[in-house]
Structure 1
Amino acid sequence: MLHIGSADRNAMPTAHSWCSCGRDLKAFGHQQIARLTDDHTRHRAQCPLLTRGKEAA
């Protein structure tokens, strides 16, 4: 799951990426969130817990 949020318009945005495999990462600011979003997308394609069912299909 990936959650991106900001308290208000002038606040620093934050992001939290976690998975049932134990992955739990946080990012602060636009650049770190962009990197975390890319990493989160790669993780979803490679995580054994998420890809196990796709291999059988």
Structure 2
Amino acid sequence: MLHLGAAGRNAMPTAHSWCSCGRDLKAFGHHKVAQLTDDHTRHRSLCPLLAQGKEAA
């Protein structure tokens, strides 16, 4: 799951990435949020727990 947030104009963006495998990462600021978003997308294709669900489907 990925949650992105920014409270309003000129607010610092935030991101929270977590997974049932135990992944739980947070980022603050434009650059770090962009990095975490890319990393979250990569994780979705590599996570063994998510891969098991794809095989079962």
Above 0.5 in TM-score? yes
- The SS at the match of 1:35 is helix
Normalising by the residue count of structure 2, what TM-score does the alignment of the two structures yield? 0.90
Match of 2:47 in 1: 47
Normalising by the residue count of structure 1, what TM-score does the alignment of the two structures yield? 0.90
What is the 5 A alignment of 1:15-54? 15-54=15-54
Gaps in structure 1 of 5+ consecutive residues: none
- The SS at the match of 2:4 is strand
What's the CA shift for 1:11?
A: 1.1
Is 1:4 matched with 2:37?
no
What's the CA shift for 1:56?
A: 4.3
Deviations 1:1-53 (A, max 9, x none): 00000111121010000001110000001100110001000100010110112
**How many equivalent pairs are there?**
57
